[in-house]
Amino acid sequence: MSDETTSGVTVEFFGIARRRAGRARIVVCQGLDSARLGDVLLAAAAELPGLADECLDGSRPREGFLANINARRFTTDPDVPVQSGDHVLLLAADAGG
């Protein structure tokens, strides 16, 4: 995992999520060694209300969105463990081109 962040989890936003977040990324859960994906998304939502309204359903990606851990595994499961230094990507579930 490549990372410029030494603590916390970096949430990267793509597409609509980036537009709603108003930024490309945010670092959350600093000071924690590990967390659940749901904790990470809730922490991001707390700082980015636009994101919470349209891209999240509580602690999980809203229908139409997916999370991806370290650009390797897609998931919507809020209980997936996430480590400090990980990157969580929030992106559109539909990859049609």
Partner 1 sequence: MASVPGYHGGYLRVDLTDRSSRRIEWPDGVLRQFIGGGGLGAWILRHETPDGVDPLAAESPLVFVFSPLVGSPLTTSAKFAVLAKSPLTGRINDSLSSSHFAIAGKRTGYDAIVVVGAAARPTTLVVTPGGERFESAESEWGLGSRETGRRVQQRLGNGDDGFQVAAIGPAGERLVHYATISHDARHAGRGGLGAVMGAKRLKAIAVAGDRRVEFADPGRLIDISKDLSKRSLGPATAKYRELGTVDNLLTFNRIGSLPTRNFQSGVFDEASKLAPESLGADRDRTRTSCAACTIGCEHIFSITETDGETGRAGVRMEYENLFALGPLCGVSDPQVVLAASQRCDELGLDTISTGASIAFAMECAERGLVDIPGLQFGQGTALLAMIEDIGHRRDWGDLLADGTRAAANRIGGGSHEFAPHVKGLEIPGYEPRALQAMALGFAVGTRGADHNRSGAYEVDFSPHVDQIDAGPETIGPVVRVEDEAVLIDSLILCKFLRGVFPDRVAGMAELLKPVTGWDVTSAELIETAGRIVTAKKAYNIAQGWTPAEDTLPPRFFEESLSDGESIGARIDPDRLAAQVEAYNLARGWTAEGYVPGDRLAALGLE
Residues of this chain that bind partner 1 (CB under 8 A): 12, 14-16, 19, 54, 62-64, 66, 68, 70-77, 89, 91-97
Residue with smaller CB distance to partner 1, 33 or 73 = 73
At its nearest, how many Å lie between partner 1 and the CB of residue 78?
12
Cα–Cα distance between 39 and 64 in angstroms, integer? 20
Q: State which residue, 29 or 91, has the beta carbon closest to partner 1.
A: 91
| 5 or 75: CB nearest partner 1 | 75
31: tokens are: 């000071």
H or E, element range at 7: none
Beta-carbon contacts of residue 73 (< 8 Å; ≥ 6 apart) = none
